[in-house]
Amino acid sequence: TCLALALLASPVLAKEKKHAKQMDPQAMMEMYQKLATPGEPHKQLASLAGSWITKTKEWMEPGKPPTEAAGSAEMKMLLDGRFLQQDFTSEMMGQPYTGMGITGYDNLRKKYVSIWLDTMGTAPFMMEGTGSADGKTITLKGQHTEPGGGHMTHRAVWKIVDSNTQTFDMWGNHGGGKEMKVMEIVYTPVSYTHLRAHETKANLVC
């Protein structure tokens, strides 16, 4: 039996080795350079760089109103436009909260990838997903291990509404249960927020 399996597998292995040997070094280098070059998804991420004011809603239990908190976020591109870093400050569960996320687009797998670190845990939270045709809506999925065993799965939708608004909505479920909305964040540029405040003050004076 072992001999038969070896004989059956040998043509496949030989074909794979032959294919690998035929890979031209110059072509391989060009392929890697192409995959390493930022494209349209990265340009879309770069459009989010700047200072933002945030408003967060957090649902802890079904049927109960969310808690709300104001905060801020600083976003900047890293490594020559390949990754977007977000530094986020607000409150979570009534406690001071700081988080940092890095999001990019994998040209090889054609997927967005994200890793998030914060002061509420010691484990990184990773998600990946796809974008809409215009690149303005990114849907990410991931999961984390819960205390006591099991996992909670997450689905997040990050949307560029317009030049003055972006939203981040997240849903989750425990152990395959019913999905529920757990978080909503609305981002507004600091410059736009200050402009609206100035306009409101001017109208009051008038």
Chain Cα centroid distance, residue 86: 10
Residue whose token pair is 């990946």: 128
Closest CA to 193 of 71, 19, 35: 71
Q: What is the pLDDT of residue 46?
A: 96
Q: What is the pLDDT of residue 5?
A: 46
Q: What is the pLDDT of residue 198?
A: 47
Q: What is the pLDDT of residue 60?
A: 84
Q: What is the pLDDT of residue 184?
A: 97
Query: Taking the model in full, what pTM does it have?
Result: 0.79
Q: Which portions of the chain are predicted below pLDDT 70?
A: 1-21, 175-176, 192-206
Q: What is the pLDDT of residue 194?
A: 53
Residues 6+ apart with CB under 8 A from 47: 160
Closest CA to 55 of 197, 193, 195: 193
**CA geometry: angle 85, 89, 92, nearest 5 deg:** 120
Q: What is the pLDDT of residue 17?
A: 55
Q: What is the pLDDT of residue 3?
A: 45
Q: What is the pLDDT of residue 47?
A: 94
User: What sign does the CA torsion over 52, 162, 198, 91 have?
Assistant: negative
How is residue 62 written in tokens?
């079904």
